[in-house]
Structure 1
Amino acid sequence: MTMDVNRPEIVAEVAAAFEAYERALVDNDIETMNRLFWDRPETVRYGIAEIQHGGEAIRRWRETCVPVPSSRRLHRTVVTTFGLDCATVSTEFTSDATPLIGRQMQTWVRLGDVHDAFGGWTIVAAHVSLIEPV
């Protein structure tokens, strides 16, 4: 059996959901960010200096975390889809707040209503880190 990888319409859906998340992140729109993360104990987010296990822990952390700088810029974003309902989004980012290069990876799964604002796409796992420029 072959997997349908990177169907253009599915890539476009995930890219739109990711862009909505990124806009919410820069705008510190906590409600939208929370809507896009799976609200289950199985959800894992590894941050730059913290770890959250479960949707509840992610929501609590978001209420007190420092917002990302408005100067945040994405580089080399890659959306890869697998079938109709699973995807990864990987990106690098920079900002005026640090000379370090950020890396972000998210696993997206279509768990919701395909007719909702985000096409049913939800982040089920995420990892953010910073490294020295090479």
Structure 2
Amino acid sequence: MVINDPEVVAELAALYPRYEEALVSNDADTLTEMFWDSPHALRFGATENLHGSAEIAAFRQARPGANLARTIDRLDIVAFGRDTGSITLEFTRQLPGKTVRGRQSQLWIRLPEGWKIVSAHVSLLPS
């Protein structure tokens, strides 16, 4: 297995900005499309545990669209072979009266329909 094949890293690096733009603009349709359409997809958020693509999509559709902007402080991509990758990042959000720091991890798998997030986790760091 080749770790960090430059072509695979480049594919994932090209996908991530689309995810980030959809996230901060609250584009629920694009975010839903980027996740694996399966009852096995997972997203553990700062305040929620979502099991399956239906729960993830419902969360996205109901999420308020305000104050979603964030600054990416660090982004790391690791590719494992041709069809598996990990994208992790640290971020900062400016909210009224406070700065919030957090982290995010995503497991991406190349499926027949293309690259999909099969598992994601978001957590906030204590202030």
Fold conserved between structures, TM > 0.5: yes
Tell me which of 31, 39, 42 is aligned to 2:40.
Answer: 42
Sequence identity, in percent?
A: 42
**Counterpart code for 2:25:** D
Runs of 4+ in structure 1 over 6 Å off: none
Equivalent-residue separation in structure 1 for 2:17 and 2:112 (angstroms): 18
The count of residues paired between Structure 1 and Structure 2 equals 125
Verify the 8 A CA contact 1:34 1:59 in the aligned structure 2: yes
Equivalent-residue separation in structure 2 for 1:79 and 1:121 (angstroms): 14
Tell me which of 124, 128, 132 is aligned to 2:126.
Answer: 132
**Counterpart code for 2:103:** R
Equivalent-residue separation in structure 1 for 2:100 and 2:24 (angstroms): 18
1:99 CA drift (Å):
1.9
1:23 partner SS? helix
Equivalent-residue separation in structure 2 for 1:64 and 1:92 (angstroms): 25
Residue of structure 2 equivalent to 1:32: 30
Structure 1: 5+ residue runs without aligned partners?
A: 114-119
1:14 partner SS? helix
Task: Report the RMSD for the aligned CA atoms in angstroms.
Answer: 1.4
Verify the 8 A CA contact 2:4 2:78 in the aligned structure 1: yes
Equivalent-residue separation in structure 2 for 1:70 and 1:108 (angstroms): 23
Structure with the bigger percentage of strand: 2
Normalising by the residue count of structure 2, what TM-score does the alignment of the two structures yield? 0.92
Residues 35-82 of structure 1 show CA distances to partners (whole Å, capped at 9, x for unaligned) of: 100010111100000110000000011111123635311111000000
Normalising by the residue count of structure 1, what TM-score does the alignment of the two structures yield? 0.87
Q: 1:68 to 1:22 in 2, by over 3 A?
A: farther
Equivalent-residue separation in structure 1 for 2:13 and 2:26 (angstroms): 19
**Counterpart code for 1:36:** M
2:4 partner SS? coil
Equivalent-residue separation in structure 2 for 1:76 and 1:39 (angstroms): 28
